[in-house]
């Protein structure tokens, strides 16, 4: 085996120790044995304030996960929360501690080319912690893609598309600024639809803001809204009727995550697309959403489901129940965004595209080539695994000391 070639993420060619030997011979376990797992917290500045219903921030922190094999391959993954623990309780500090103390020791010495078995082992020993597990699974799959010299989407059946139309989040609460921001993103060709974060303001003011935006964008770009569970059902009924009238095409998670009955009533009666996000975290949740018809669109996120394989399973269950899916985001850097894009590329249908815009909102990236956005879409990276490479100088600059 050519160690130099492997360290660059490529299996070596040729008769002796070539790719055939790597895949079919005795070598997979030998070459893909996990030597170590390293984690780092990286603090990346956002371009502007991101205001969620209950939290605002200028900073996005990620956990970089690097899995090294005995033969010098490095699988890269990212665990990330939406700018803090408000969404699921997960924080980057807790994710790093859980990986270092509990998850990584279970994987050292194991064969990286068995992600399903390895993730089952982690699930058996450590309950929940889907974000930490998702970061590890991403690194395993990146490493597997590099060893096999195939892009990650091949491991999910190959690609259906090369790009994903993306929606840009408007989330400062200042509507004049939000209209300017939308105009700029449209003009730059970075995003062709917009998602307004709601419920941080009083409802009357918030609805006036949404209507003003809808008018400003009318006929040129679609507007969707996300109150992040911020409304009671009665408020949601009134608000959704007004929003639909104003031309808003989709409302995401209007009510509390546990309230699937209200979600089902809103889905049945509101006459607009209702997307579930916080209310569907797992394959089991997805079965329940399908049984109760508790949404007409389902947001996939690699972190909440504990990895790409679970997210793909959720998509398949939802689709089988007649519910299409959407590619959500937790504001990943270019690492997690590449993973999102490989998954999105493999999915049969994404009627409203997605919102995987993290690298555009994050002012600095730690990848040599940041994610590619043009023509209002995110484009699939090339190369084995995720198709990304870490810029070590930038990593040193933003790594938490």
Q: Which of the residues are catalytic?
A: 197, 355
Nearer to Mg ion, 69 or 299 (CB): 299
CA dist., res. 346 & res. 158, Å (int): 6
3-state secondary structure of 206: helix
Task: Work out whether 78 is an interface residue with Mg ion (CB under 5 A).
Answer: no
Phi/psi for 190 (5° steps) reads: -85, -35
Answer yes or no whether residue 355 interacts with Mg ion by CB under 5 A: no
Q: Is 139 helix (H, G, I), strand (E, B) or coil?
A: helix
Least distance from C-beta 82 to Mg ion, angstroms? 8
277 lies in the site for Mg ion, by CB under 5 A: yes
The residue assigned the tokens 């209002």 is: 376
- The nearer residue to Mg ion, 65 or 198, going by C-beta atoms, is 198
CB of 104 to Mg ion, least distance (A): 30
**Residue whose CB is less far from Mg ion, 97 or 256:** 256
Nearer to Mg ion, 190 or 304 (CB): 304
Region from 6-14, 142-150, 205-213, 274-282 binding Mg ion, contact rule CB under 5 A: 274-282
Distance, in Å, from the CA atom of 307 to the CA atom of 138, rounded to the nearest integer, reads 7
Tokens 């997605």 correspond to: 354
Q: How far is the CB of 134 from Mg ion (least distance, A)?
A: 16
Q: How far is the CB of 257 from Mg ion (least distance, A)?
A: 10
Strands 74-80 and 377-379: unpaired
CB of 228 to Mg ion, least distance (A): 6
* Closer of 152 and 360 to Mg ion (Cβ): 360
Total residues interacting with Mg ion, rule: CB under 5 A: 2
Buried-exposed string 268-303: b where 16+ CB fall within 10 A, e elsewhere:
eebebbbbbbbbbbebebbbebbeeebbbbbbbbbb
Contact positions with Mg ion (CB under 5 A) in 217-256: 226
Instruction: Tell me how crowded residue 216 is: count the other CB atoms within 10 A of its CB.
Output: 18
Q: Which is nearer to Mg ion, 78 or 277 (CB)?
A: 277
Compute how many other C-beta atoms are within 10 angstroms of the C-beta atom of residue 3.
13
* Residue 363: CB minimum distance to Mg ion, A: 22
- Residue pair 103/132 in contact by the 8 Å Cβ criterion: yes
At its nearest, how many Å lie between Mg ion and the CB of residue 296? Answer: 15
DSSP 399: B
Which of these segments, 79-87, 175-183, 276-284, 345-353, binds Mg ion (CB under 5 A)? 276-284
Beta bridge partner(s), residue 42? 62, 399
Query: Residue 261: how many CB atoms within 10 A of its CB?
Result: 12
Could you tell me the end-to-end alpha-carbon distance of the chain, in angstroms, rounded to an integer? Answer: 37
Q: Which is closer to Mg ion, CB of 331 or CB of 345?
A: 331
For residue 89, how many other CB atoms are within 10 A of its CB?
Answer: 10
Q: Tell me whether strands 273-276 and 193-197 are parallel, antiparallel or unpaired.
A: unpaired
Classified as helix, coil or strand, 324 is: coil
What are the backbone angles phi and psi of residue 121, rounded to the nearest 5°?
Answer: -65, -45
- Point out which residues bind Mg ion (CB under 5 A): 226, 277
């Amino acid at each position: 085996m050519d160690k130099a070639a492997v360290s660059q993420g490529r299996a070596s060619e040729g008769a002796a120790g070539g790719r055939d030997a790597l895949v079919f011979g005795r070598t997979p376990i030998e070459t893909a044995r996990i030597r170590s797992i390293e984690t780092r917290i990286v603090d990346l500045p956002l371009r502007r304030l991101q205001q969620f219903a209950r939290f605002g921030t200028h900073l996005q922190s990620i956990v970089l996960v690097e899995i090294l094999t005995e033969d010098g391959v490095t699988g890269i993954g990212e665990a990330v929360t939406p700018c803090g623990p408000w969404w699921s309780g997960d924080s980057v500090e807790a994710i790093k501690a859980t990986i270092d103390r509990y998850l990584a020791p279970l994987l050292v010495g194991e064969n990286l080319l068995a992600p399903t078995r390895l993730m089952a082992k982690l699930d058996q020993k450590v309950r929940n912690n889907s974000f930490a597990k998702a970061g590890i699974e991403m690194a395993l799959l990146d490493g597997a893609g590099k060893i096999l010299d195939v892009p990650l989407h091949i491991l999910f059946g190959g690609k259906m598309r090369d790009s994903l139309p993306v929606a840009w989040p408007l989330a400062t609460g200042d509507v004049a600024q939000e209209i300017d921001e939308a105009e700029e993103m449209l003009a730059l060709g970075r995003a062709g639809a917009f998602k307004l974060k709601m419920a941080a303001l009083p409802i009357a003011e918030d609805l006036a803001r949404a209507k003003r935006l809808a008018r400003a964008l009318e006929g040129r770009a679609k507007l969707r809204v996300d109150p992040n569970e911020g409304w009671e059902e009665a408020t949601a009924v009134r608000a959704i009727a007004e929003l639909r009238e104003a031309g808003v095409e989709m409302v995401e998670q209007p009510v509390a995550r546990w309230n699937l009955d209200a979600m089902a009533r809103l889905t049945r009666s509101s006459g607009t697309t209702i997307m579930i996000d916080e209310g569907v975290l797992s394959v089991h949740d997805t079965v329940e959403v399908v049984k109760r018809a508790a949404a007409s669109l389902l947001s996939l996120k690699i972190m909440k489901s504990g990895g790409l394989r679970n997210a793909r399973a959720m998509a398949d269950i939802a689709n089988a129940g007649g519910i299409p899916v959407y590619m959500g985001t937790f504001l990943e850097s270019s690492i997690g965004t590449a993973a999102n894009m490989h998954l999105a590329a493999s999915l049969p249908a994404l009627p409203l595209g997605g919102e995987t815009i993290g690298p555009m909102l994050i002012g600095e990236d730690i990848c040599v080539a940041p994610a590619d956005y043009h023509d209002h879409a995110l484009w699939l990276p090339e190369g084995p695994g995720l198709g990304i490479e870490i810029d070590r100088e930038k990593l040193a600059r933003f790594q938490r000391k």
